[in-house]
Amino acid sequence: MSTADLVSVTLALLLYAVSMLGAVIVTGRIVRRRRDRRDARLAAEARPHLLELTGGDADIDEPLRRLAALDRRRWKAVQPSATSLLGKVSGHAHAALVRLFEERGIARDALRDLTRRGAVRRAAAAHVLGLMHHAEAVPALVRLLSDRNPEVRAVAARALGQVGAPEAAGPLLECLSGGGRVPFDLVAQSLIRIGPAARPALDRALSHSDPAVRAIAAEVLGLIGSVGSVAALVRVLSVDPSVDVRTRAARSLGRLGTPACLAALTDATGLAHPQAVRAEAAGALGDIGAAGAVPALRALLPDYHYRVAHNAAMSLTRLGPPAEAALREVADGTLGVRAAGHAREALAVLALAEGRLPRPAPAT
């Protein structure tokens, strides 16, 4: 065979291969579109029963029976809608959907899938069990926090928060240690969903060797309103070696707002503390909203660190007439030019909030 013949045969084979590939692609698209149309039709047939089940009617037996009796193909078509609803509804509607999922064996299958080899199946199973608030899945979900796949770990952490099991708080916090096997914000959200029941684990975590664990614990305690943790947070604010942990403790004390918080935050604005801690404490004093913080905040207005003075001025805008009087006094220059600038900015913020034009700064 000559070179020309070989080239011709090669080109013919390539053309045939390209044609076959194109045919396969087109056929695949046609099949997918037909399947999608069929699934949409089947889902539309079952959707009224799904809406009836979650509509709030006292009698759910009939729609539940019909949905539980769907054949595999029809259930597969409507299951995405049911799963989506499961994450959006609460109360009786959620309980009805959970009952449906239980009757169809979805929880049983999901529990089994948590140990499957495929990461997608493990993640999907954890997602469904979390939406169902399936308490029996907690031990298996905790084990998935150490899964080799990061997406599976993240879904498991979210699911534990959805279940709201207090025993999951400790393992969730441990996920943050050593660089964090799960994103910090995801762990925090799950702990917040667990709520006050997570407090014992969070209190213990304030003494953890890893500053990342202590930081999230300090932050979440404020977000869940754990007033009983004030003493522990005050200690952290005073002595923790991590500036990040101390700033988060200051922020939480501002949210909690007890008299002990006021005293600790006032002390934390002192020069003995790092600049970031002082600035956060100055802002947190405004969160507390106590007029007793006005003298300490006024004294911070001439501070050489911009963020400290700025936060103090903004906090004074939230503390009522005594604070506004202090700002007007400082704006006249009693504590110097630097303090006057911060005071005038704060007064301008107050004026705009009240729909007034700020007073112009005095000519220099």
Give φ, ψ of 271 to 5 degrees. -65, -15
Residue 192 makes CB contacts below 8 A (sequence gap 6+) with: 161, 220, 223, 224
Q: What is the dihedral of CA 2, 3, 4, 7, to 10 degrees?
A: 130
Which of 244, 243, 288, 245 lies closest to 265 in space, CA to CA? 288
The mean pLDDT value of the chain amounts to 90
Check residue 180 and give its pLDDT: 67
Distance between CA 276 and CA 279 in Å, rounded? 5
Model confidence band, residue 76 (pLDDT cutoffs 50, 70, 90): confident
Which residue carries 């303090």 as its tokens?
339
Residue type, 209: S
Distance between CA 143 and CA 159 in Å, rounded? 12
Which residue carries 């005095």 as its tokens?
362
What are the tokens at 126?
């954890």
Check residue 58 and give its pLDDT: 63
Residue 226 makes CB contacts below 8 A (sequence gap 6+) with: 196, 199, 202, 256
Could you count the other beta carbons within 10 Å of the beta carbon of residue 157? Answer: 27
Model confidence band, residue 363 (pLDDT cutoffs 50, 70, 90): low
Q: What value does the mean pLDDT take over residues 29-38?
A: 63
Residue 259 makes CB contacts below 8 A (sequence gap 6+) with: none
Distances from the Cα of 227 to the Cα of 192, 237, 238, 256, 263, angstroms: 15, 15, 18, 6, 15
Model confidence band, residue 50 (pLDDT cutoffs 50, 70, 90): confident
> What pTM did the predictor assign?
0.83
Comparing 46 with 296, the larger pLDDT belongs to 296
3-state SS assignment for residue 198? helix
Distance between CA 28 and CA 32 in Å, rounded? 6
pLDDT tens per residue, range 263-288:
999 999 999 999 999 999 999 999 99
Residue 78 makes CB contacts below 8 A (sequence gap 6+) with: 42, 43, 46, 47, 50, 67, 70
Residue 178 φ/ψ region, left for φ over 0, alpha for ψ in the -120 to 50 degree band, beta for the rest: left
Comparing 5 with 333, the larger pLDDT belongs to 333
Q: What value does the mean pLDDT take over residues 147-151?
A: 94
Distance of CA 195 to the CA centre of its chain: 13
Check residue 253 and give its pLDDT: 98
What are the tokens at 223?
């977000």
Q: What value does the mean pLDDT take over residues 234-261?
A: 96
Model confidence band, residue 188 (pLDDT cutoffs 50, 70, 90): very high
Under a CB-based contact definition with an 8 Å cutoff, are residues 229 and 203 in contact?
yes
Q: What value does the mean pLDDT take over residues 195-219?
A: 97
List, in order of start, the domains of the chain with CATH numbers: 183-288 (1.25.10.10), 292-364 (no CATH)
Which residue carries 């801690």 as its tokens?
277
Distance between CA 182 and CA 151 in Å, rounded? 9
